[in-house]
Amino acid sequence: MNACEKYIQELQQHLSSLPQADRQDALEFYKEYIEDAGYQDWDEIIQKLGTPKELSQEIIAKTTTTPNQEPLDQQDNKRVRFVLFTILAIILVLVLVPTILGILSGIIAAIATLVGSGLTVFALAGSTLTSDVWAGVFYLGIGIALVGVLLIAIFIIAWLGKWLVRGINKLITLFRNQVKGEK
Amino acid sequence: MKIKITADLLDGMVLAILEHRDYYGYALTQRMQEAITISESTMYPVLRRLNRDGYLTTYEQSFQGRNRRYYKITAKGVNHLQRVRKLWNDYKKSLDQVFNNQDKQREEQ
């Protein structure tokens, strides 16, 4: 047996963990390579390609058929995490969406009530101001107070909205990272 | 000291060589070694990856009573090569500006 055949045979033994097709592919490549290069003796082959063991390690490390080279159990782990995250996200959406809708409709109703009563009070103030000055001033005061309450409410709503948007953004980013990690 | 070549650039170089004509493994490795220092065990994983991604195909041709595996670039490979080529040219241009002190020349003008 010449050096090339011996080298290929040893390489084959070190590649036994690879699927048959992958192993065959690598062996054919290197057999052809050594013949084309015209390497004659063992030392020359080892000097150029490394020992069969070293070469096999490089082939296995870089030739796995799966696109990413993480160990399989880690991939499974990721898959499980991905599924869990998806379920969590669905539950969150199911709970969050009605809650947010409820809060929003409450806010709109409150603002409508405030604006409505404000307008009524101002109208009352306008009509009474001519007949009874003090009653008119009283209503005017209530109206101004209502405007104040409205402004405070808008401020609080804006503040809440900002945090809500930030929270949702964060959740989306977190989820997207999970999905990316899966790929 | 030598500059490390990334996997993307290795892929691009192989595709650029194959754009010219088809090569078999040993000849392709020789051609690469004319340009950069790489070990002879580097090429197989690169070719394997390019093949898997559909950037090249292989075919066998008999030579002195045995087979040689030739590598041929695909249309997808040509597309990919154009992307890598553009990336490389942009990268080269911006690094040239730094290394050749073109900022200084610009200021002096």
HEC profile for chain B?
CCCCCCHHHHHHHHHHHHHHCCEEHHHHHHHHHHHCCCCCCCHHHHHHHHHHCCCEEEEEEEECCEEEEEEEECHHHHHHHHHHHHHHHHHHHHHHHHHCCHHHHHHHC
* Strand pairing class (B66-73; B23-24): antiparallel
The span from the CA of B87 to the CA of B16, in Å, is 14
* Chain A nearest CA to B94, separation (Å): 30
Residue B58 has, within 13 A of its CA and on its CB side, a CA count of: 18
What are the tens digits of pLDDT across the range A27-65? 999 999 999 999 989 999 999 999 999 999 999 888 765
Predicted confidence at residue A180, as pLDDT, reads 64
Question: Which of B23, B30, B40, B67 to mutate: most A Cβ within 10 Å?
Answer: B40
Burial of B44: CB neighbours in 10 Å, binned 0-12, 13-18, 19+: buried
Residue A165 has, within 13 A of its CA and on its CB side, a CA count of: 6
Q: Tell me the backbone φ, ψ of residue B63, rounded to 5 degrees.
A: -145, 115
The span from the CA of B102 to the CA of B95, in Å, is 10
Predicted confidence at residue A71, as pLDDT, reads 47
Distance of CA B76 to the CA centre of its chain: 15
Please state the rounded mean pLDDT for residues A104-125. 87
Please state the rounded mean pLDDT for residues A9-20. 93
Residue B67: list chain A partners with CB under 8 A.
Answer: 32
Predicted confidence at residue A73, as pLDDT, reads 53
Distance of CA B46 to the CA centre of its chain: 10
* pLDDT at residue A153 is higher than 90: no
Burial of A45: CB neighbours in 10 Å, binned 0-12, 13-18, 19+: buried
Q: Hunting for tokens 């869990």 — which residue is that?
A: A84
* pLDDT at residue A3 is higher than 80: yes
Q: What is the CA radius of gyration of chain A?
A: 38
The span from the CA of A49 to the CA of A58, in Å, is 10
Predicted confidence at residue A68, as pLDDT, reads 46
A55 within 8 A of B41, measured Cβ to Cβ: yes
* Chain B nearest CA to A3, separation (Å): 18
* Strand pairing class (B56-63; B66-73): antiparallel
pLDDT by residue for chain B (109 residues), tens only, comes to 788 888 899 999 999 999 999 999 999 999 999 999 999 999 999 999 999 999 999 999 999 889 999 999 999 999 999 999 999 999 999 999 999 887 666 676 6
Question: Which of B23, B33, B41, B66 to mutate: most A Cβ within 10 Å?
Answer: B41
Determine the residue of chain B that is closest to A56 in CA distance: B41
A53 within 8 A of A14, measured Cβ to Cβ: yes
Residue B39: list chain A partners with CB under 8 A.
Answer: 50
Residue A58: list chain B partners with CB under 8 A.
Answer: 41, 45
